[in-house]
Amino acid sequence: MGRKFELNLLRSLFILGIGAFFHLVRKPPIKDWLIVFFLKSYIATFLDNLLVRKGYLKYPVNLFKTFDVSVLFSYLIFPITCVYFNQQTRNSGLKDILLKSMIFSVPSAIAEHFLEKHTQLIRYKKSWNSYYSFISIMATFLVTRGIMGVISKSSEKQRTTAPKH
């Protein structure tokens, strides 16, 4: 696949991502989904920067040349997927959350593996491989879901214990 195809693929994913973002955050509670979106963006950016700086990943073809990380993935695609994951697990127990995190992580890891093998969009370096990508994707889904669980419980506790005026 050539550079032109890869850039067109990134542009198409960008447009689809913007549309998906507006669709996903329309579902109440919007505040929670925006927190998930920005939290996941922060976590993904931190990890992506760390992995790129340590030489495990490289993004040879990127829409935004001023960044070493995949802005599209870290700031749009991955956070949107996490919002959808959180919407699907909002009322789930731990067992369902773990199962759904695997269900969401497998396609992401497979897509990344395909892109690494057949495009210049991502390159694994050193000892990095698809298994590590799968584990890191799943871990960030679970960390984000855990943080949102703590936020929800704290918010609910504040509502029930707050003095009524």
Q: DSSP 3-state assignment of 142?
A: helix
What is the spatial distance between Cα 46 and Cα 48, in angstroms, rounded to a whole number? Answer: 6
Q: DSSP 3-state assignment of 124?
A: strand
Record the tokens describing residue 64, joined without a space: 């935004």
Length of the chain: 165
Q: What is the pLDDT of residue 69?
A: 79
DSSP labels, 89-120:
HTT--HHHHHHHHHHHHHHHHHHHHHHHHHSS
- Model confidence pTM above 0.85: yes
φ/ψ region of 28 (left if φ > 0, alpha if ψ in -120 to 50, else beta) reads: beta
- In the numeric block, the tokens 């067109």 are attached to 8
Record the tokens describing residue 106, joined without a space: 């497998």
Q: Can you list the alpha helix ranges (DSSP code H) found in the chain?
A: 3-24, 30-53, 71-72, 78-89, 94-118, 130-161
> What residues pair up with 29 in beta bridges, in sequence order?
none
Q: What is the pLDDT of residue 165?
A: 64
Residue boundaries of the structural domains of the chain = 3-148
Q: What is the pLDDT along the chain (165 residues), one digit of tens a residue?
A: 788 999 999 999 999 999 999 998 788 899 999 999 999 999 999 999 999 999 999 999 888 777 777 888 999 999 999 999 999 999 999 999 999 999 999 999 999 999 999 999 999 998 999 999 999 999 999 999 999 999 999 988 888 886 776
Q: What is the pLDDT of residue 62?
A: 83
